[in-house]
Amino acid sequence: MIGVRSPVGAFSFVAAAALALSSCSGVQSALAPAGQQAEHLARIFWWMTGGTLAIWLLVIGIALYAAYTPARKDLVGARRLVVWGGVIVPTVVLTLVLCFGLALIPRFVDPAAPSDLSVHVTGEQYWWRVKYPRAGAAPLELANEIRLPVGAEVDFLLDSTDVIHSFWIPSLGGKVDMIPGRQTRLRLSPRRTGTFRGVCAEYCGASHAWMAFSVVVQERAEFERWLERQAAPARTPSEGLAREGRDVFTANGCGACHTLRGTLSSGVVGPDLTHVGGRESLAAGVLPNHEAGFGRWVVETDRLKPGVHMPAFGMLAAHELRALAAYLESLE
């Protein structure tokens, strides 16, 4: 057992663990909080880690004491070590950590507190349907990307159309399951601008690992401008190749599954593509958002994301594929 026979090994283990934790940062880290709820979770994590480390050090200390102390006939001291180090101290430490965690729970969701924004997210195999409700108008729909104003209290209304998914933005807060036939809720409060990564945290099928989404937290004025642009209809292509791509889109029946607001394409099976060219990535984080990415996705759908419901259009001629990709990229 490490630590019992080698004190150096025990402390090396602690140092290695600390080094590993120090690398937990980036756009998908619960230990680099950018929201109020994530800050609470990170605080609970560090308190639990501290309590666990204290108990571990105590137990290792007792084990080292027992290993390197000559045998004694008087067992009173040993029994005291077992009672205090193995029962009393761990119970007190774990109780304090539990009380600290329970005290923070009411801060995660306050049903009486009003929200500044509601976002409806539906998990589907293997992408995310995102809707922004609007007063007096149809909801604004997009896919695999969420934008939020910094400092806002945001209510997420979550559901699923097929299997159980789990909505999780580690840098902003905890995870909540998305259950078919039931709507769940999650309150998040972003406190720092930036681009973060959300994922599905519940195994949902063959392409579960390829089901990510971008979360862009912006200043409120910038968010309002973005929302206004998203409400506009699909851009009419001005260049020749993109115009040809629009015809390819129509001729191959893409509008039966996808919506392009402002055109006759009004399909609801797949993602809304009205402004797909302006999103952070393609296919729920699988490909970069550029012309080559669109081309790959259209012809390699089943290979890039096994089990996805969109068929691959490998029958398109090379010129048609380039035109279609140019058209989709122009939809910003």
Write down the residue that tokens 């851009």 correspond to: 235
pLDDT recorded at residue 308? 92
Mean pLDDT, range 238-246, rounded to an integer: 89
Q: Which of 115, 130, 114 is nearest to 216 (CA)?
A: 130
Mean pLDDT, range 256-266, rounded to an integer: 94
Report the relative pairing of strands 194-200 and 184-188 from DSSP bridges. unpaired
Check whether 20 has a pLDDT greater than 60.
no
* Calpha distance 252→263 (Å, rounded): 15
Per the prediction, the chain carries an average pLDDT of 87
Domains and CATH numbers, the chain: 7-108 (no CATH), 117-230 (2.60.40.420), 240-330 (2.60.40.420)
pLDDT recorded at residue 211? 95
Q: Which two tokens stand for residue 181?
A: 């036939």
150-188 pLDDT, tens digit each = 999 999 999 999 999 999 999 999 899 999 999 999 999
Q: Are 167 and 156 in contact (CB under 8 A)?
A: yes
Q: Are 176 and 167 in contact (CB under 8 A)?
A: yes
Query: Which amino acid, residue 156?
Result: F
308 to 8, 25, 126, 287: CA distances (angstroms): 51, 31, 6, 15
* Band (4; pLDDT cuts 50, 70, 90): very low
Q: Which two tokens stand for residue 127?
A: 């992408």
Report the C-alpha dihedral over residues 90, 93, 97, 102, rounded to 10 degrees.
80
Burial class (CB in 10 A: 0-12, 13-18, 19+), 137: exposed
Residue 150 has a CB neighbour count (10 Å cut-off) of 18
Mean pLDDT, range 209-225, rounded to an integer: 96
For the full predicted model, state whether its pTM sits above 0.85: no
* Calpha distance 83→91 (Å, rounded): 11
Q: Are 218 and 179 in contact (CB under 8 A)?
A: no
Bridge partners of 155, per DSSP, are: 118, 187
* Calpha distance 322→157 (Å, rounded): 38
Residue 194 phi/psi, 5-degree rounding, is: 145, 180
